[in-house]
Amino acid sequence: MTDAESAVAEAFRQEWGKVVATLIRMTGDWDLAEECAQDAFAAALSRWGTDGVPDRPGAWLTTTARNRALDRLRRTKTEAAKLQEVAVLSVPDEPAGWGESGVEDDRLRLMFTCCHPALTLEARVALTLRTLAGLTTAEIAKAFLVPEATMAKRLTRAKHKIRDAGIPYRVPPAHLLPERTVGVLAVLYLLFNEGYAATAGDDLLRPGLSAEAMRLGRLLTALMPDEPEAAGLLALMLLQDARSAARLDDDGELVSLEEQDRSRWDAAKIAEGIRLLEAALRRQRAGPYQLQAAIAACHAEAAQASDTDWAQIAQLYGELRRLVPSAVIELNRAVAVAMADGPAAGLTLVDELAAGGALTGYYLLPATRADLLRRMERSDEAAASYRQALDLVATGPERRYLSRRLAEVGG
Amino acid sequence: MKYLLLYAGDETAAGLAVTEETAAQPEEECGGPWAQELRERQIHQLTGGRLMPTSAATTVRTAGHETLVADGPFAETKEQILGFDVIECADLDAAIYAASRHPVAVLGGTVEVRPFLQGA
């Protein structure tokens, strides 16, 4: 790669979202904005090699894309295009005032618009990846295991919905901001988990989704410095991602947290995650992401599995359950209680959950029950529960883990 | 933009059913308190109101030169159309706000928010 090519590649990573976001504000036309951003990066490839890399690559790209938009609108010559052209000419490069919520950045506008609740969750995820992260339609389709034509249709439909339904291009006003922020965070965390759940055998694009989610998480944290949940989510993603190298063994088998080689955890990511989390918690507005990050931090800070502060984790799950009532969280609390107070205490909670019926059909319920019974040396009952769990789980690593445990209890 | 707010719900459910009491409520009339509250946010009700129950509905179709008239709504559904409003406002967020504040939504009904065809 030449210097100019690597400069364009770097600019693409840094500036794509910004160029598209600015062009959408200027033209109000999502397709035109994307096409002109593409043209600008193509122009950079040919021009930066001969003219040198500009001092402010982002400004160069935005200006080039804007001029390209004006060219295209002038050539179209319809009434609508003429109006658009006038609009583009009258829009300043940076909006003058500050919005109601005190935050005005085109990328933040774009993020909130992409994650608007009037769009389907699938559309929100796809739009975020296309317009903010700059993934191609083919890449997004591959990452979500759908044909490219399907993904292209999904993106087109979403852009038409934004235009036709009048979804505003802005950061929501103060009274809407908290609930809409929750929506943006949910899309980023979903992206992260899509990537995180993928294993080394899967296409490399899926793990790439986690990296994109963290990059967007960094951006959101920088753009919303007063929102502790944004920092909490970034901390949570970093702390989880720090363990990714130790999650699978050399044969691609899932390694439980207890058995992971902690020397393979990424110390730099853990340190950054904990630093972010502590700063967020000082704002005294703990939310679900900060609590989950705090739980992840309890694990990350234990040099060995036996050092884990399970009482603290159980308490954090208790707080989390108060904010987000959920049977899955309660199951996790039961595991922590079992580790802090012994398997019998955990089993009582698991059996209460099973009686409640909310987790019927969820393999981790019998799997957790089986692990507790195994630790209480009630092998026959443990084996029965492992078999129940195996009946409910489809995919590879989890299945093999349960089969291994079942063999251990002699089932 | 111009939006239609279409209210749906079980017309026999408590709160949504038309009674003498609800019929007398100015809340849902054109220009009532709901519309007044919205005006402060630059959302304007152009027309609308609650409808009589589907027992008062008549369906009309044509076949050639013939007009076919039948008793009842166009489709028998679990939820019925309870009323509608046409509003003029800046964007979808404003329309969502208007829908969320309407008595039908507050009382457990559903509101479909639809933009009009541009130029309509």
Q: Which residues in chain A touch residue B1, judged by CB atoms under 8 angstroms apart? A: 166
Tokens for A326, please give them.
């959920």
Mean pLDDT of A367-379: 94
pLDDT of B26 strictly over 70: no
B41-84 tens-digit pLDDT: 999 999 999 899 999 999 999 999 999 999 999 888 889 999 99
A20-39 tens-digit pLDDT: 999 999 999 999 999 999 99
CA B77 to chain centroid = 16
Interatomic CA distance for residues A327 and A311, integer angstroms: 19
- pTM for this entry: 0.84
Q: How confident is the model at residue A97 (pLDDT cuts 50, 70, 90)?
A: very low
Question: Which residue is closest to A116 within chain B, CA to CA?
Answer: B93
What DSSP designation does A258 have?
G
ipTM (interface pTM) = 0.87
Interatomic CA distance for residues A208 and A198, integer angstroms: 10
Question: Which residue is closest to B115 within chain A, CA to CA?
Answer: A165
A166 and B92 within 8 Å at the Cβ level: the answer is: yes
Contacts of B62 (CB under 8 A, 6+ apart): B68
What DSSP designation does B89 have?
-
pLDDT at B67: 94
Q: Is B1 on the interface with A (CB under 8 A)?
A: yes
DSSP string over A105-162: -HHHHHHHHHT-TTS-HHHHHHHIIIIIS---HHHHHHHTTS-HHHHHHHHHHHHHHH
A267-291 tens-digit pLDDT: 999 999 999 999 999 999 999 999 9
Q: What is the mean pLDDT of chain A?
A: 90
Which residue among A116, A165, A176 places its CB closest to the CB of B115?
Answer: A165
pLDDT at A98: 40
Which residue among B3, B93, B113 places its CB closest to the CB of A172?
Answer: B93
Under CATH, which number does the domain B2-115 receive?
Answer: 3.30.70.1060
Exposure string (b/e) for A152-189, b if CB count within 10 Å is 16 or more?
bebbeebbebbeebbbbbbbbeeebbeebbebbbbbbb
Q: Is B92 on the interface with A (CB under 8 A)?
A: yes
Q: How confident is the model at residue A258 (pLDDT cuts 50, 70, 90)?
A: confident
Instruction: List phi, psi (to 5°) of A395.
Output: -85, 165
Of residues A143, A154, A158, A147, the one with CA closest to residue A191:
A143
Mean pLDDT of A105-118: 93
| Domain range annotation of chain B | 2-115
Contacts of A342 (CB under 8 A, 6+ apart): none
Q: Residues 31..90 of B with a Cβ closer than 8 Å to A: which? A: 90
Count of CB atoms within 10 A of residue A54's CB? 17
